[in-house]
Amino acid sequence: MAACLRRDKSLTYGPTESYREPTKNSIRFLALGDFGGKTDFPFTPPIQNAVAAQTAKLAKQNPIDFVLTLGDNFYEHGVESVDDPRFTETYGRVFHQKSLEVDWYIVGGNHDYRGNISAQIAYTKVSKRWKYPDFFYKLKYTIPGSDMVLEIIMIDTVILCGKTDDATDMILLGPASIVEAKKQWKWIRKNIEKSTADYLIVAGHYPVISVSSHGPTKTLVDILDPLLHANNVTAYFSGHDHNLQHLQSRQQQSKVDYFVSGAADKMDPSMEHKGDVPSGALKFFAGKTIPLGGFGHVEVYKENMTFTFSDSYGKALYQHVMFPRHVRK
């Protein structure tokens, strides 16, 4: 899949707003999850509107190539059909700015599965930018000015781990179909193990590890995490917990970065599972301190990949740099 690359400028946050000369040597994209809006009027909460406005502003100043979504696209119960007005009310009319008219790559979250998840996939044929070709799929981009490759493996964690119970939204009920879960695990293992990409990202809705309300996802910790480490995967992106987190774990010679970006609609300051992640894993957390939410922004050069968390006021909160898999230590 070829990337449609655009002019590239440095991040411009805060009061100074200094710029580099435009270049064309990177891939740039947003990473945001849990942007699902409301089921009744006025449909869009303040956080969602603020995130939409700021992502559009950033993308106008620093054009992006695509948006990577991380599930819970429609609160509280997904959509009913491709004609559901929610596609317009809490997506189209919110993220309407011209700078956001790029491909949006979608994965399903637990709230999406409370409705008709197949309708979200079918909406790919209705919308020019909504890209949801299947429950799980892979993206591949060549970094401009090089032969280096970025691969993103989009997985369906609800198929793997089950839906959450409606009462508390906490307990995972287990896979609805063991057969479908095993089918996806086989596909995930194959695509991770055979990848020769210089940067390899896996993205899904449930986090592998998290310090917030939902905490670590046991199935992903038991099965996915060893795969990430064994194959030197660059990073895992997720949503589900409504805050911004960067965690990092090391196992012998491997290191994996985990980014939780679930702050595009609601905020949760909880750190109740801080004791359930590896000691020293938490590198950054923002919950209560960003009342109008936030999102991730990624820039991939041949030399490095930078992940930046920013809030809806345009302030860069945190930045982490990662290196190609063949030079990582």
Annotated binding residues for Fe cation, written as ranges, equal 34, 72, 75, 110, 205, 240, 242
Residue numbering of the annotated binding site: 34, 72, 75, 110, 205, 240, 242
**Tokens coding 198:** 């210089």
305 Ramachandran zone, left/alpha/beta (phi>0; psi -120 to 50):
beta
Q: What is the side-by-side order of every strand in the sheet holding 103-105?
A: 130-131, 103-105, 66-69, 27-32, 294-300, 305-311, 316-322
Task: Give the pair of three-digit tokens for residue 325.
Answer: 């898999």
Joined tokens for residue 209: 């590890």
Task: Yes or no: say if 84 and 138 are a contact pair by the CB < 8 Å rule.
Answer: no
Contact in structure between 71 and 301 (CB atoms under 8 Å): no
Tokens for 87, please give them.
């596609």
Q: Are 57 and 314 in contact (CB under 8 A)?
A: yes
